[in-house]
A = this chain, B = another copy of it.
Amino acid sequence: MELRDLRTLIGIAESGSLSGAARKLNLTQPALSASLKRLEDELKVQLVARHSRGADVTEEGKFVLQKAYAILHDVADMTTVAQDLIEEPIGDVRLGLPTTVAGGITAELVHRLCTRHPLVRLHVIEAMSGVLVEQLQLGRLDMAILFDIQPMAGLRSEPILIEEPRLLVSGSHELASRKQIRLDELDQLELVMPSQVHSIRGLIDRISKSEGVSLKIIADVDSFPGIVSLVQKGYPTIFPTYLVREHIERGTIAAIPLVQPRIDWTLHLATRQDSVRPRASLATARLLIDLCSELVVNGIWPGRLHPRRAP
Protein backbone atom coordinates (compact mmCIF):
# COMPACT_ATOMS: atom_id res chain seq x y z
CA MET A 1 0.00 0.00 0.00
CA GLU A 2 1.15 3.52 -0.74
CA LEU A 3 0.08 6.92 0.46
CA ARG A 4 -0.88 7.89 -3.07
CA ASP A 5 -3.96 5.72 -2.88
CA LEU A 6 -4.93 7.00 0.54
CA ARG A 7 -4.77 10.54 -0.79
CA THR A 8 -7.01 9.40 -3.59
CA LEU A 9 -9.59 8.03 -1.17
CA ILE A 10 -9.56 11.23 0.83
CA GLY A 11 -9.89 13.30 -2.31
CA ILE A 12 -12.91 11.30 -3.39
CA ALA A 13 -14.51 11.58 0.03
CA GLU A 14 -14.03 15.32 0.06
CA SER A 15 -15.14 16.08 -3.46
CA GLY A 16 -17.85 13.47 -3.79
CA SER A 17 -16.71 12.16 -7.14
CA LEU A 18 -13.74 10.62 -8.87
CA SER A 19 -13.56 13.37 -11.47
CA GLY A 20 -13.71 16.04 -8.77
CA ALA A 21 -10.93 14.35 -6.87
CA ALA A 22 -8.93 14.07 -10.09
CA ARG A 23 -9.17 17.82 -10.66
CA LYS A 24 -8.17 18.53 -7.09
CA LEU A 25 -5.21 16.17 -7.18
CA ASN A 26 -4.09 17.25 -10.64
CA LEU A 27 -4.64 13.87 -12.19
CA THR A 28 -6.99 12.51 -14.79
CA GLN A 29 -10.11 10.62 -13.91
CA PRO A 30 -8.87 7.22 -15.09
CA ALA A 31 -5.81 7.64 -12.88
CA LEU A 32 -8.08 8.17 -9.89
CA SER A 33 -10.20 5.25 -10.93
CA ALA A 34 -7.16 3.01 -11.09
CA SER A 35 -5.79 4.28 -7.81
CA LEU A 36 -9.05 3.58 -6.02
CA LYS A 37 -9.27 0.16 -7.61
CA ARG A 38 -5.76 -0.61 -6.36
CA LEU A 39 -6.72 0.27 -2.82
CA GLU A 40 -9.95 -1.67 -2.94
CA ASP A 41 -8.22 -4.70 -4.38
CA GLU A 42 -5.57 -4.62 -1.72
CA LEU A 43 -8.00 -4.24 1.18
CA LYS A 44 -10.59 -6.47 -0.49
CA VAL A 45 -13.36 -4.07 0.49
CA GLN A 46 -15.51 -1.84 -1.64
CA LEU A 47 -14.71 1.61 -0.32
CA VAL A 48 -16.67 3.77 -2.71
CA ALA A 49 -20.07 3.32 -4.31
CA ARG A 50 -19.91 4.71 -7.84
CA HIS A 51 -23.02 5.96 -9.53
CA SER A 52 -23.86 8.16 -12.41
CA ARG A 53 -23.93 11.33 -10.34
CA GLY A 54 -20.65 10.85 -8.54
CA ALA A 55 -19.39 8.53 -5.87
CA ASP A 56 -20.09 8.01 -2.19
CA VAL A 57 -17.80 6.50 0.38
CA THR A 58 -19.42 3.32 1.72
CA GLU A 59 -19.89 2.56 5.40
CA GLU A 60 -16.85 0.33 5.22
CA GLY A 61 -14.99 3.02 3.38
CA LYS A 62 -15.65 5.49 6.16
CA PHE A 63 -13.78 3.32 8.62
CA VAL A 64 -10.86 3.08 6.27
CA LEU A 65 -11.11 6.79 5.50
CA GLN A 66 -10.82 7.60 9.17
CA LYS A 67 -7.56 5.70 9.35
CA ALA A 68 -6.35 7.31 6.15
CA TYR A 69 -6.80 10.73 7.68
CA ALA A 70 -4.87 9.65 10.76
CA ILE A 71 -2.03 8.35 8.64
CA LEU A 72 -1.72 11.44 6.49
CA HIS A 73 -1.93 13.58 9.58
CA ASP A 74 1.05 11.72 10.97
CA VAL A 75 2.87 12.16 7.71
CA ALA A 76 2.33 15.90 7.93
CA ASP A 77 3.61 15.74 11.49
CA MET A 78 6.70 14.01 10.27
CA THR A 79 7.53 16.68 7.77
CA THR A 80 6.95 19.29 10.44
CA VAL A 81 9.42 17.49 12.67
CA ALA A 82 11.93 17.27 9.88
CA GLN A 83 11.51 20.95 9.07
CA ASP A 84 12.03 21.81 12.69
CA LEU A 85 15.20 19.79 12.84
CA ILE A 86 16.98 21.86 10.21
CA GLU A 87 16.14 25.24 11.63
CA GLU A 88 17.92 27.24 14.32
CA PRO A 89 17.03 25.65 17.67
CA ILE A 90 14.59 27.75 19.66
CA GLY A 91 12.34 27.22 22.64
CA ASP A 92 12.37 25.91 26.17
CA VAL A 93 14.09 22.72 27.26
CA ARG A 94 13.40 21.17 30.63
CA LEU A 95 16.31 19.01 31.69
CA GLY A 96 16.27 16.77 34.74
CA LEU A 97 19.58 15.93 36.46
CA PRO A 98 20.31 13.67 39.42
CA THR A 99 21.98 15.43 42.34
CA THR A 100 25.33 13.74 41.82
CA VAL A 101 25.45 15.04 38.26
CA ALA A 102 23.80 18.44 38.42
CA GLY A 103 26.46 20.15 40.52
CA GLY A 104 29.24 19.26 38.13
CA ILE A 105 27.83 20.21 34.78
CA THR A 106 25.00 22.70 35.12
CA ALA A 107 27.11 25.85 35.02
CA GLU A 108 29.17 24.82 32.03
CA LEU A 109 26.16 23.44 30.16
CA VAL A 110 24.19 26.65 30.59
CA HIS A 111 27.18 28.64 29.46
CA ARG A 112 27.73 26.60 26.34
CA LEU A 113 24.06 26.58 25.47
CA CYS A 114 23.84 30.36 25.75
CA THR A 115 26.79 30.71 23.44
CA ARG A 116 25.86 28.14 20.83
CA HIS A 117 22.09 28.30 20.86
CA PRO A 118 21.09 31.62 22.32
CA LEU A 119 17.43 31.10 21.48
CA VAL A 120 17.17 28.00 23.67
CA ARG A 121 16.15 28.54 27.27
CA LEU A 122 17.28 25.78 29.59
CA HIS A 123 15.43 24.83 32.76
CA VAL A 124 17.46 22.52 34.97
CA ILE A 125 15.51 20.49 37.51
CA GLU A 126 17.60 18.66 40.09
CA ALA A 127 15.94 15.63 41.65
CA MET A 128 16.35 11.95 42.36
CA SER A 129 16.44 9.54 39.47
CA GLY A 130 13.08 8.03 40.38
CA VAL A 131 11.41 11.40 40.45
CA LEU A 132 12.95 12.31 37.12
CA VAL A 133 11.52 9.23 35.44
CA GLU A 134 8.07 10.14 36.66
CA GLN A 135 8.36 13.72 35.55
CA LEU A 136 9.57 12.62 32.16
CA GLN A 137 6.61 10.32 31.70
CA LEU A 138 4.23 13.03 32.81
CA GLY A 139 5.69 15.32 30.19
CA ARG A 140 7.02 17.84 32.69
CA LEU A 141 10.58 17.19 31.51
CA ASP A 142 11.91 16.97 27.98
CA MET A 143 14.94 14.93 28.92
CA ALA A 144 16.85 13.68 31.91
CA ILE A 145 20.00 11.86 32.89
CA LEU A 146 19.01 8.60 34.55
CA PHE A 147 20.67 5.49 35.96
CA ASP A 148 20.14 2.07 34.39
CA ILE A 149 16.90 2.96 32.71
CA GLN A 150 14.57 0.46 31.14
CA PRO A 151 12.97 1.15 27.80
CA MET A 152 9.68 3.01 27.95
CA ALA A 153 7.11 4.04 25.41
CA GLY A 154 7.71 7.52 24.10
CA LEU A 155 11.21 7.75 25.49
CA ARG A 156 14.49 7.20 23.74
CA SER A 157 17.53 6.67 25.86
CA GLU A 158 21.17 6.62 25.08
CA PRO A 159 24.00 5.44 27.32
CA ILE A 160 26.52 8.15 28.07
CA LEU A 161 29.09 6.89 30.52
CA ILE A 162 29.81 4.32 33.20
CA GLU A 163 30.50 5.52 36.71
CA GLU A 164 32.23 3.53 39.43
CA PRO A 165 31.31 4.65 42.91
CA ARG A 166 34.05 4.37 45.52
CA LEU A 167 34.34 4.07 49.22
CA LEU A 168 34.78 7.58 50.57
CA VAL A 169 36.57 7.92 53.89
CA SER A 170 37.98 10.93 55.65
CA GLY A 171 41.63 11.70 54.91
CA SER A 172 42.59 10.72 58.44
CA HIS A 173 40.71 7.41 58.38
CA GLU A 174 42.69 4.20 58.92
CA LEU A 175 41.65 2.99 55.45
CA ALA A 176 42.58 6.23 53.71
CA SER A 177 45.78 4.85 52.24
CA ARG A 178 44.28 1.63 50.86
CA LYS A 179 44.59 1.22 47.11
CA GLN A 180 41.50 -0.94 46.90
CA ILE A 181 39.03 -2.69 49.12
CA ARG A 182 36.69 -5.67 48.95
CA LEU A 183 33.00 -5.26 49.68
CA ASP A 184 33.11 -7.82 52.49
CA GLU A 185 35.72 -5.76 54.33
CA LEU A 186 33.13 -3.03 54.79
CA ASP A 187 31.02 -4.97 57.27
CA GLN A 188 33.14 -3.55 60.10
CA LEU A 189 32.46 0.06 59.12
CA GLU A 190 29.71 2.40 60.27
CA LEU A 191 28.43 3.74 56.99
CA VAL A 192 26.11 6.54 56.00
CA MET A 193 24.16 6.26 52.76
CA PRO A 194 21.33 7.95 50.91
CA SER A 195 17.96 6.32 51.52
CA GLN A 196 16.53 3.62 49.30
CA VAL A 197 14.67 6.00 47.06
CA HIS A 198 18.07 6.82 45.58
CA SER A 199 19.12 4.37 42.96
CA ILE A 200 22.68 4.09 44.29
CA ARG A 201 21.34 2.79 47.59
CA GLY A 202 19.12 0.30 45.80
CA LEU A 203 22.10 -0.95 43.85
CA ILE A 204 24.33 -1.29 46.91
CA ASP A 205 21.59 -3.11 48.81
CA ARG A 206 21.05 -5.56 45.97
CA ILE A 207 24.74 -6.27 45.55
CA SER A 208 25.51 -6.65 49.26
CA LYS A 209 22.57 -9.01 49.57
CA SER A 210 23.65 -11.16 46.64
CA GLU A 211 27.23 -11.21 47.97
CA GLY A 212 26.05 -12.17 51.43
CA VAL A 213 27.62 -9.11 53.02
CA SER A 214 25.66 -7.22 55.66
CA LEU A 215 26.60 -3.56 55.80
CA LYS A 216 26.17 -1.52 58.95
CA ILE A 217 24.42 1.61 57.73
CA ILE A 218 23.94 3.85 60.72
CA ALA A 219 22.06 6.64 59.01
CA ASP A 220 20.13 7.37 55.83
CA VAL A 221 21.10 10.84 54.72
CA ASP A 222 19.44 12.33 51.66
CA SER A 223 21.63 15.38 51.54
CA PHE A 224 24.85 15.70 49.60
CA PRO A 225 26.55 18.25 51.90
CA GLY A 226 25.32 16.21 54.85
CA ILE A 227 27.02 13.09 53.56
CA VAL A 228 30.25 14.95 52.81
CA SER A 229 30.45 16.35 56.32
CA LEU A 230 29.65 12.95 57.80
CA VAL A 231 32.43 11.36 55.77
CA GLN A 232 34.85 13.96 57.11
CA LYS A 233 33.66 13.20 60.65
CA GLY A 234 34.63 9.55 60.17
CA TYR A 235 31.55 7.81 58.75
CA PRO A 236 32.43 6.37 55.31
CA THR A 237 30.01 6.09 52.42
CA ILE A 238 29.87 4.59 48.95
CA PHE A 239 29.36 7.33 46.45
CA PRO A 240 30.35 8.68 43.05
CA THR A 241 33.48 10.75 43.35
CA TYR A 242 32.79 13.50 40.86
CA LEU A 243 31.33 16.00 43.30
CA VAL A 244 33.94 15.43 46.00
CA ARG A 245 36.83 15.95 43.62
CA GLU A 246 38.14 19.00 45.44
CA HIS A 247 38.11 17.25 48.79
CA ILE A 248 40.06 14.37 47.33
CA GLU A 249 42.65 16.71 45.83
CA ARG A 250 43.04 18.49 49.15
CA GLY A 251 43.37 15.14 50.88
CA THR A 252 40.46 15.69 53.24
CA ILE A 253 38.63 12.74 51.68
CA ALA A 254 40.06 9.54 50.18
CA ALA A 255 38.26 7.60 47.45
CA ILE A 256 39.05 3.88 47.49
CA PRO A 257 38.12 1.69 44.51
CA LEU A 258 35.82 -1.21 45.31
CA VAL A 259 36.77 -4.61 43.94
CA GLN A 260 35.19 -8.01 44.24
CA PRO A 261 32.66 -7.28 43.08
CA ARG A 262 33.29 -4.30 40.95
CA ILE A 263 30.39 -1.90 41.23
CA ASP A 264 29.32 0.37 38.42
CA TRP A 265 26.30 1.81 36.70
CA THR A 266 25.56 3.47 33.45
CA LEU A 267 24.28 6.99 33.06
CA HIS A 268 21.76 7.37 30.25
CA LEU A 269 20.24 10.38 28.64
CA ALA A 270 16.53 9.76 28.19
CA THR A 271 14.59 12.01 25.84
CA ARG A 272 10.91 12.36 25.15
CA GLN A 273 10.17 11.54 21.55
CA ASP A 274 6.74 12.95 21.06
CA SER A 275 7.61 16.54 20.50
CA VAL A 276 6.66 18.05 17.19
CA ARG A 277 9.40 20.66 17.53
CA PRO A 278 12.33 18.70 18.86
CA ARG A 279 15.28 20.69 17.60
CA ALA A 280 15.91 22.56 20.85
CA SER A 281 15.92 19.25 22.74
CA LEU A 282 18.21 17.72 20.22
CA ALA A 283 20.69 20.59 20.31
CA THR A 284 20.74 20.52 24.09
CA ALA A 285 21.20 16.77 24.18
CA ARG A 286 24.19 17.05 21.90
CA LEU A 287 25.87 19.73 23.95
CA LEU A 288 25.15 17.77 27.10
CA ILE A 289 26.62 14.56 25.76
CA ASP A 290 29.63 16.37 24.35
CA LEU A 291 30.21 18.04 27.68
CA CYS A 292 29.96 14.80 29.64
CA SER A 293 32.26 12.99 27.23
CA GLU A 294 34.77 15.78 27.45
CA LEU A 295 34.77 15.73 31.24
CA VAL A 296 35.28 11.99 31.25
CA VAL A 297 37.99 11.98 28.59
CA ASN A 298 39.87 14.71 30.44
CA GLY A 299 39.66 12.69 33.64
CA ILE A 300 37.67 15.36 35.47
CA TRP A 301 34.63 13.10 35.78
CA PRO A 302 35.82 9.70 37.05
CA GLY A 303 34.30 7.00 34.90
CA ARG A 304 34.63 5.66 31.41
CA LEU A 305 32.72 6.35 28.23
CA HIS A 306 30.09 3.84 27.29
CA PRO A 307 31.45 1.55 24.55
CA ARG A 308 28.75 2.78 22.19
CA ARG A 309 30.09 6.31 22.55
CA ALA A 310 33.81 5.58 22.32
CA PRO A 311 34.53 2.66 20.01
Contact = CB atoms under 8 A, between A and B. Distances in A.
B81 A286 contact: no
Interface in A80-97: 81-83, 85-86
Interface string A1-16: 1111000000000000
A211 interface: no
A67 interface: yes
A7 to B, nearest CB: 10
A70 interface: yes
Interface stretch (A71-79, A112-120, A121-129): A71-79
A110 interface: no
A273 B57 CA distance: 15
A296 B201 CA distance: 73
A86 B59 CA distance: 12
Contacts of A74: 67, 70-71, 74
Report the copy number of this chain in the oligomer: 2
A156 interface: yes
Interface residues of A, number: 34
A60 B3 CA distance: 23
A244 B78 CA distance: 57
Given A62-B156, A282-B59, A1 B75 contact: yes
14 contacts: A1-B3, A1-B75, A1-B79, A44-B83, A59-B282, A60-B85, A62-B156, A63-B82, A64-B81, A66-B273, A67-B81, A70-B74, A71-B71, A74-B74
Given A1-B78, A62-B156, A63-B82, 17 more contacts: A1-B75, A1-B79, A2-B2, A2-B3, A2-B4, A42-B79, A44-B82, A44-B86, A45-B82, A45-B85, A60-B82, A60-B86, A64-B81, A66-B156, A70-B74, A71-B71, A71-B75
